Amino acid sequence: MPKAKVHSGAAKRFKKTAGGYKRKSAYKSHILTKMTTKRKRQLRGTSMIHKSDEVLIDRMLRAK
């Protein structure tokens, strides 16, 4: 049986947890010098993917 293809970009961005999928916050990759320290601190954590988007993530990661 051939190996199932996985969207490699999605595999790097999303992690499966018991409660669903988690992702990093957006707007944290560049132009950090213009952001306030408070804003950068708020973007530090992770967020959970909404339930309606989990079907798409499952499809990209081929999770069952």
Please indicate, yes or no, whether the overall pTM of this predicted structure exceeds 0.75.
Answer: no
Q: How is the beta sheet containing 46-48 ordered, strand by strand?
A: 14-17, 20-24, 46-48
Please give the pLDDT value at position 63. Answer: 62
Q: Residue 64's pLDDT is what? A: 53
Query: What is the predicted pLDDT for the residue at 50?
Result: 93
Note the pLDDT tens digit of each residue in 10-53: 888 999 999 999 998 888 888 899 999 999 998 888 899 999 99
User: What does the pLDDT read at residue 2?
Assistant: 81
Q: Is there a contact between 29 and 44 (Cβ–Cβ < 8 Å)?
A: no
57 pLDDT tier (thresholds 50, 70, 90): very high
Do 56 and 50 form a contact (C-beta atoms < 8 A)?
A: no
